[in-house]
Amino acid sequence: MESEDGLHWHKPVLRQKEFKGSLENNFVTLDPALEWPENAIMNVVYDPNDTDPARCFKGLAQCSIREPIASPDGIHWCKLDAPPIPSSDESNLSYDQQRRTVKHGGPHGRSVFLSTSTDFMRWTEPELIFHADDEDQRLGRENIDTRLSNPHMQSLILRSELDSYNVDVYNMGVFAYEGLYIGLPAMYHSAGPVPNYPNTFGFHLVQLACSRDLRTWRRLGNRRPFIEASPLGAGAYDLTQLLPPSAPVRRDDELWFYYTGLKYRASSHYVGTYPDGEIVPIPGLDRDQGAICLALLRRDGFVSLDAGEQSGMFTTQPFELSGTMLFVNLDATKGTLTVEALDGGSVVATSADLNGDLPQGKVVWTQDSLADLQGRLVHLRFTLRNGSFYSYWIEE
């Protein structure tokens, strides 16, 4: 699909794969003779730095293993002469000198392993970097109970009482952002087995984590949902299953997160004994079950420091100053922020009050400035009242 604004999309006719007797469709395939799962094209990223124009787009093929593939245009694909990467039915690929995460089993079930490559041909041995823990299990029981008791949320089809449950990592998007890595683990809350079939009922909550090295991860927001399922109504698709993106798209002062949303976890009964039984659709459920969804976030809006009527203050660690212009990302529509620069514990510059919703608020100094502090170790002290503080940065 193609779009000029990220909101209105059209389907080009590619004539690659016959469907219902016609080539007039937008299916993309490695080989028209392949069928699912061998024809799956997964986790596509754009690499602007590859010197081979035939490898500007990179992805992974197949559903149970992951074979590196490449394309000059995102439409015509070929397999690379590279060994497959072991994974299960979920994976995520991120462009950051070609670092890659794959999913394997681990503590409490599905977990995230990391494999990296500098040439998209040779990959490091996968290593465990992220998994659910006992705290996820404790919070998971609360999340499942809350979901089952909420009449405004999509039911779990056949599950109204909880007799067994588990929480693990279904998928995890990872992307580089302003000097660190952001992780979006989709925590799958299993609420019990599907009768006669080797699968489970459940739902996803996309949480937030960060890392400096891709190996040690810090869970953020008290593990509350960063993206959660929508309530019933208004034509929503993301009612049960949410699959996170590899990275957001930056649009001015916003981050646009495209993610997969599904109405149901299981929309069929399995009649008989697996694998010799039959899949029978559950009556009354929509056949139109999935869509690409969009969530918007202000730039740097992952977390904030908040203050009420009583002012709050925080001071940075000392750093060597390089640059003369200080900017803040701030929502102080009903409040104020002031900034002080400290050198050796003494205030050497003071700002005018800042107020309003300022995604790129430039700090104006009323007493001195940063110009004479270049190369010095300084602290910045922020005092906030009735507002939310997201980030700061310094430019030349």
pLDDT in tens, 126-160: 899 999 999 999 999 999 999 989 999 998 765 55
Cα separation of 385 and 67, whole Å? 53
Question: Mean pLDDT, to the nearest integer, of 354-360?
Answer: 98
Separation of CA 214 from chain center: 14
Q: 219-234 pLDDT, tens per residue?
A: 999 999 999 999 999 8
Q: What percent of the chain is predicted at pLDDT more than 70?
A: 96
Higher pLDDT, 193 or 251: 251
For residue range 268-326, list pLDDT tens digits in order: 778 888 888 888 888 888 889 999 999 999 999 999 999 999 999 999 999 999 999 99
pTM, 2 dp: 0.89
- What residue segments make up the domains of the chain, in order of their start? 1-100+115-121, 132-303, 305-395
| Residue-wise burial string across 209-236, b where 16 or more C-beta atoms lie within 10 A, e elsewhere | bbbeebeebebbeebeebbbbbeeeeee
Say what the pLDDT of residue 157 is: 62
* Burial group, residue 278, by CB count within 10 angstroms (0-12, 13-18, 19+): exposed
What are the tokens at 105? 């089993």
Which pLDDT score is estimated for 81? 92
How far apart, in whole angstroms, are the C-alpha atoms of residue 68 and residue 55?
11
Question: Quick one: the chain helix, strand, coil %, rounded to 5?
Answer: 5, 45, 45
CB neighbour list of residue 74: distance below 8 Å, 6 or more residues apart: 28, 44, 46, 57
Q: What percent of the chain has pLDDT over 90?
A: 67
Encoding tokens for residue 75?
């439409």
CA dist., res. 322 & res. 191, Å (int)? 53
* Three-state secondary-structure class, residue 19: strand
Tokens of 333: 């529509």
For the chain, how far is it from start to end, CA to CA, in angstroms? 40
Q: Is the per-residue pLDDT at 102 higher than 90?
A: no
Amino acid at 108: H
pLDDT category of residue 214 using cuts at 50, 70 and 90:
very high
| Residues 6 or more apart whose Cβ sits within 8 Å of residue 91 | 42, 43, 60, 66, 85, 101, 102, 103, 171
Output the pLDDT for position 98: 47
Domain 305-395, classified CATH 2.60.40, yes or no: no
pLDDT, position 159? 55
Q: How many CA atoms lie within 13 A of 58 on its CB side?
A: 28
Mean pLDDT of the chain: 91
Residue 243 has pLDDT above 90, yes or no: yes
Strand partners, 173: 184
Which tens digit of pLDDT belongs to each residue from 38-73? Answer: 888 988 989 988 999 999 999 999 877 889 999 999
The length of the chain is 396
DSSP 363: P
DSSP letter, residue 179 = T
DSSP state of 220: -
What would the pLDDT profile of 106-130 be if each residue is shown by its tens digit? 677 899 999 988 888 888 888 999 9
Whether residue 183 is predicted with pLDDT greater than 80 in this model: the reply is yes
Tokens standing for 363?
């700090």
pLDDT at 343 over 90: yes
